[in-house]
Amino acid sequence: MGGVTSSPGLTPLAERALALIPEGGRAIVGVAGSPGSGKTTLARSVAHRVNELADAGTAVHLPMDGFHLANATLDALGRHDRKGAIDTFDGWGFAALLQRVLAETANPVYAPAFERTVDEPVAGSIAVEPGTRLVVVEGNYLLVDADPWTRIPPLLAESWFVATPEEERMRRLVDRHTRHGRTPEAAAAWARDVDGANAVLIEASRSRADLVVDGTTGLPAGDA
Protein backbone atom coordinates (compact mmCIF):
# COMPACT_ATOMS: atom_id res chain seq x y z
CA MET A 1 0.00 0.00 0.00
CA GLY A 2 1.18 3.47 -0.83
CA GLY A 3 4.19 4.47 -2.83
CA VAL A 4 6.18 6.36 -0.25
CA THR A 5 9.07 3.95 0.40
CA SER A 6 11.52 5.76 -1.89
CA SER A 7 9.98 9.21 -1.47
CA PRO A 8 12.41 12.16 -1.24
CA GLY A 9 10.41 13.19 1.83
CA LEU A 10 11.69 10.26 3.85
CA THR A 11 15.08 11.71 4.74
CA PRO A 12 13.63 15.01 6.09
CA LEU A 13 11.01 13.06 8.05
CA ALA A 14 13.66 10.71 9.41
CA GLU A 15 15.86 13.65 10.37
CA ARG A 16 12.86 15.34 12.00
CA ALA A 17 12.21 12.19 14.04
CA LEU A 18 15.87 11.90 15.07
CA ALA A 19 15.84 15.48 16.31
CA LEU A 20 13.02 14.61 18.71
CA ILE A 21 15.10 12.09 20.66
CA PRO A 22 16.19 13.51 24.03
CA GLU A 23 19.84 13.26 25.01
CA GLY A 24 20.39 9.78 26.41
CA GLY A 25 16.68 8.97 26.18
CA ARG A 26 13.96 7.57 23.96
CA ALA A 27 11.15 9.16 21.96
CA ILE A 28 7.92 7.89 20.44
CA VAL A 29 6.59 9.34 17.20
CA GLY A 30 2.96 8.51 16.45
CA VAL A 31 1.70 8.05 12.88
CA ALA A 32 -2.09 8.07 12.54
CA GLY A 33 -4.38 7.83 9.54
CA SER A 34 -7.40 6.11 8.06
CA PRO A 35 -7.38 2.58 6.62
CA GLY A 36 -5.53 2.60 3.33
CA SER A 37 -3.85 5.95 3.93
CA GLY A 38 -0.33 4.52 3.79
CA LYS A 39 0.55 5.05 7.46
CA THR A 40 2.06 1.58 7.88
CA THR A 41 4.30 1.99 4.84
CA LEU A 42 5.36 5.46 5.98
CA ALA A 43 6.06 4.44 9.58
CA ARG A 44 8.03 1.35 8.56
CA SER A 45 10.00 3.32 5.95
CA VAL A 46 10.84 6.18 8.34
CA ALA A 47 12.11 3.70 10.95
CA HIS A 48 14.23 2.02 8.26
CA ARG A 49 15.63 5.36 7.08
CA VAL A 50 16.46 6.41 10.65
CA ASN A 51 18.46 3.21 11.04
CA GLU A 52 20.35 4.07 7.86
CA LEU A 53 21.12 7.60 9.05
CA ALA A 54 22.02 6.56 12.61
CA ASP A 55 23.18 3.27 14.10
CA ALA A 56 21.33 0.08 13.23
CA GLY A 57 18.72 -0.63 15.88
CA THR A 58 18.16 3.04 16.69
CA ALA A 59 14.52 2.87 15.57
CA VAL A 60 11.77 0.29 15.59
CA HIS A 61 8.34 0.26 13.97
CA LEU A 62 5.52 -0.66 16.38
CA PRO A 63 2.02 -1.06 14.88
CA MET A 64 -1.19 -0.77 16.88
CA ASP A 65 -2.59 -3.74 14.92
CA GLY A 66 -0.97 -6.14 17.39
CA PHE A 67 -3.69 -5.06 19.81
CA HIS A 68 -6.57 -6.37 17.70
CA LEU A 69 -8.82 -8.46 19.95
CA ALA A 70 -8.61 -12.18 19.13
CA ASN A 71 -11.21 -13.50 16.72
CA ALA A 72 -12.75 -15.69 19.44
CA THR A 73 -13.13 -12.60 21.63
CA LEU A 74 -14.71 -10.65 18.77
CA ASP A 75 -17.12 -13.52 18.21
CA ALA A 76 -18.07 -13.54 21.89
CA LEU A 77 -18.63 -9.76 21.81
CA GLY A 78 -20.55 -9.86 18.54
CA ARG A 79 -18.08 -7.51 16.82
CA HIS A 80 -16.31 -9.78 14.32
CA ASP A 81 -18.30 -8.41 11.38
CA ARG A 82 -16.72 -4.97 11.91
CA LYS A 83 -13.18 -5.96 12.86
CA GLY A 84 -11.02 -2.85 12.78
CA ALA A 85 -13.53 -0.59 14.52
CA ILE A 86 -12.24 1.28 17.55
CA ASP A 87 -13.90 -1.12 20.02
CA THR A 88 -12.26 -4.17 18.43
CA PHE A 89 -8.85 -3.19 19.84
CA ASP A 90 -7.39 -3.42 23.33
CA GLY A 91 -6.80 0.30 23.58
CA TRP A 92 -6.01 0.16 27.30
CA GLY A 93 -3.34 -2.45 26.69
CA PHE A 94 -1.85 -0.43 23.85
CA ALA A 95 -1.62 2.74 25.94
CA ALA A 96 -0.03 0.76 28.79
CA LEU A 97 2.55 -0.69 26.42
CA LEU A 98 3.55 2.79 25.23
CA GLN A 99 3.99 3.86 28.86
CA ARG A 100 6.29 0.86 29.38
CA VAL A 101 8.22 1.71 26.21
CA LEU A 102 9.08 5.13 27.63
CA ALA A 103 9.70 4.00 31.20
CA GLU A 104 11.61 0.75 30.69
CA THR A 105 14.88 1.41 28.90
CA ALA A 106 17.10 -1.03 30.78
CA ASN A 107 15.34 -4.18 29.56
CA PRO A 108 13.63 -5.33 26.36
CA VAL A 109 9.94 -4.52 26.02
CA TYR A 110 8.11 -7.03 23.84
CA ALA A 111 5.06 -6.10 21.79
CA PRO A 112 2.59 -8.13 19.73
CA ALA A 113 2.31 -7.90 15.96
CA PHE A 114 -0.63 -8.73 13.71
CA GLU A 115 -0.13 -11.73 11.44
CA ARG A 116 -2.39 -11.48 8.39
CA THR A 117 -1.85 -15.11 7.37
CA VAL A 118 -3.71 -16.23 10.51
CA ASP A 119 -5.70 -12.99 10.95
CA GLU A 120 -4.64 -12.82 14.61
CA PRO A 121 -2.18 -10.97 16.87
CA VAL A 122 0.99 -12.84 17.80
CA ALA A 123 2.45 -12.01 21.23
CA GLY A 124 6.10 -11.02 21.74
CA SER A 125 6.81 -10.47 18.04
CA ILE A 126 8.45 -7.05 18.29
CA ALA A 127 11.34 -6.24 20.63
CA VAL A 128 12.06 -2.71 21.79
CA GLU A 129 15.64 -3.23 22.93
CA PRO A 130 17.45 -1.10 25.53
CA GLY A 131 19.42 0.53 22.72
CA THR A 132 16.30 1.58 20.80
CA ARG A 133 16.04 5.35 20.93
CA LEU A 134 13.09 5.96 18.60
CA VAL A 135 9.82 4.03 18.44
CA VAL A 136 7.63 4.82 15.43
CA VAL A 137 4.12 3.85 16.50
CA GLU A 138 1.31 3.75 13.96
CA GLY A 139 -2.40 3.10 14.09
CA ASN A 140 -5.82 4.38 13.16
CA TYR A 141 -6.94 5.76 16.49
CA LEU A 142 -3.88 7.37 18.09
CA LEU A 143 -5.44 10.84 18.08
CA VAL A 144 -9.10 10.05 18.79
CA ASP A 145 -10.60 12.15 21.58
CA ALA A 146 -11.95 9.31 23.73
CA ASP A 147 -10.59 7.17 26.55
CA PRO A 148 -8.25 5.31 26.56
CA TRP A 149 -6.87 6.84 23.36
CA THR A 150 -6.50 10.28 24.99
CA ARG A 151 -3.73 8.71 27.10
CA ILE A 152 -1.56 8.28 24.00
CA PRO A 153 -0.79 11.82 22.69
CA PRO A 154 0.96 12.92 25.93
CA LEU A 155 3.38 10.01 25.43
CA LEU A 156 4.33 11.11 21.91
CA ALA A 157 7.20 13.45 21.10
CA GLU A 158 5.26 14.32 17.97
CA SER A 159 2.21 13.06 16.08
CA TRP A 160 1.83 12.80 12.31
CA PHE A 161 -1.38 12.24 10.34
CA VAL A 162 -1.20 10.60 6.92
CA ALA A 163 -3.80 12.18 4.65
CA THR A 164 -4.75 10.41 1.41
CA PRO A 165 -7.68 11.12 -0.95
CA GLU A 166 -10.64 8.81 -0.32
CA GLU A 167 -10.65 7.44 -3.87
CA GLU A 168 -7.02 6.31 -3.52
CA ARG A 169 -7.63 4.85 -0.07
CA MET A 170 -10.59 2.85 -1.38
CA ARG A 171 -8.55 1.54 -4.30
CA ARG A 172 -5.80 0.35 -1.95
CA LEU A 173 -8.29 -1.22 0.46
CA VAL A 174 -10.13 -3.18 -2.21
CA ASP A 175 -6.79 -4.44 -3.52
CA ARG A 176 -5.69 -5.43 0.01
CA HIS A 177 -8.91 -7.23 0.90
CA THR A 178 -8.92 -9.05 -2.43
CA ARG A 179 -5.33 -10.20 -1.93
CA HIS A 180 -6.31 -11.60 1.47
CA GLY A 181 -9.10 -13.75 0.13
CA ARG A 182 -12.27 -11.70 -0.31
CA THR A 183 -14.09 -11.53 -3.61
CA PRO A 184 -13.90 -8.15 -5.36
CA GLU A 185 -17.52 -7.50 -4.41
CA ALA A 186 -16.98 -8.40 -0.74
CA ALA A 187 -13.74 -6.40 -0.69
CA ALA A 188 -15.50 -3.31 -2.02
CA ALA A 189 -18.35 -3.72 0.49
CA TRP A 190 -15.94 -4.05 3.44
CA ALA A 191 -13.90 -1.04 2.30
CA ARG A 192 -17.07 1.03 1.97
CA ASP A 193 -19.12 -0.10 4.96
CA VAL A 194 -16.53 -1.05 7.62
CA ASP A 195 -13.32 0.80 6.72
CA GLY A 196 -15.36 3.77 5.52
CA ALA A 197 -17.27 4.05 8.79
CA ASN A 198 -14.03 3.93 10.76
CA ALA A 199 -12.47 6.60 8.54
CA VAL A 200 -15.16 9.11 9.54
CA LEU A 201 -13.96 8.95 13.14
CA ILE A 202 -10.28 8.87 12.22
CA GLU A 203 -10.37 11.80 9.78
CA ALA A 204 -11.98 13.93 12.49
CA SER A 205 -8.79 13.51 14.57
CA ARG A 206 -6.52 14.99 11.88
CA SER A 207 -6.51 18.48 13.44
CA ARG A 208 -4.81 17.09 16.57
CA ALA A 209 -1.67 16.08 14.68
CA ASP A 210 1.54 18.10 14.79
CA LEU A 211 2.24 17.36 11.12
CA VAL A 212 0.13 16.23 8.16
CA VAL A 213 1.89 14.01 5.62
CA ASP A 214 0.61 13.38 2.09
CA GLY A 215 -0.03 9.65 1.81
CA THR A 216 0.70 9.56 -1.91
CA THR A 217 4.11 11.23 -1.76
CA GLY A 218 5.40 10.89 1.80
CA LEU A 219 5.96 14.65 1.91
CA PRO A 220 4.58 17.08 4.48
CA ALA A 221 1.18 18.11 3.08
CA GLY A 222 2.20 21.72 2.57
CA ASP A 223 5.15 20.59 0.41
CA ALA A 224 3.27 17.99 -1.67
Instruction: Output Rg (C-alpha) for the chain, integer angstroms.
Output: 17
Alpha-carbon gap, residue 134 to 58, rounded angstroms = 6
Q: What is the pLDDT of residues 123-159, one digit of tens each?
A: 999 999 999 999 999 999 999 999 999 999 999 999 9
Give the pLDDT band of residue 3 (cuts 50, 70, 90).
Answer: very low
Q: What is the pLDDT of residues 158-170, one digit of tens each?
A: 999 999 998 888 8
Q: What is the pLDDT of residues 53-96, one digit of tens each?
A: 999 999 999 999 999 999 999 999 999 999 999 999 999 999 99
> Please, are residues 57 and 129 in contact by the beta-carbon 8 Å criterion?
yes
- DSSP secondary structure string, the chain? --S-TT-TTHHHHHHHHHHTSPTTS-EEEEEEE-TTSSHHHHHHHHHHHHHHHS-TTSEEEEEGGGGBPPHHHHHHHT-GGGTTSGGGB-HHHHHHHHHHHHH--SS-EEEEEEETTTTEEEEEEEEE-TT--EEEEEETTTT-SSTTGGGSGGG-SEEEEEE--HHHHHHHHHHHHHHTT--HHHHHHHIIIIIHHHHHHHHTTGGG-SEEEETTTSSBGGG-
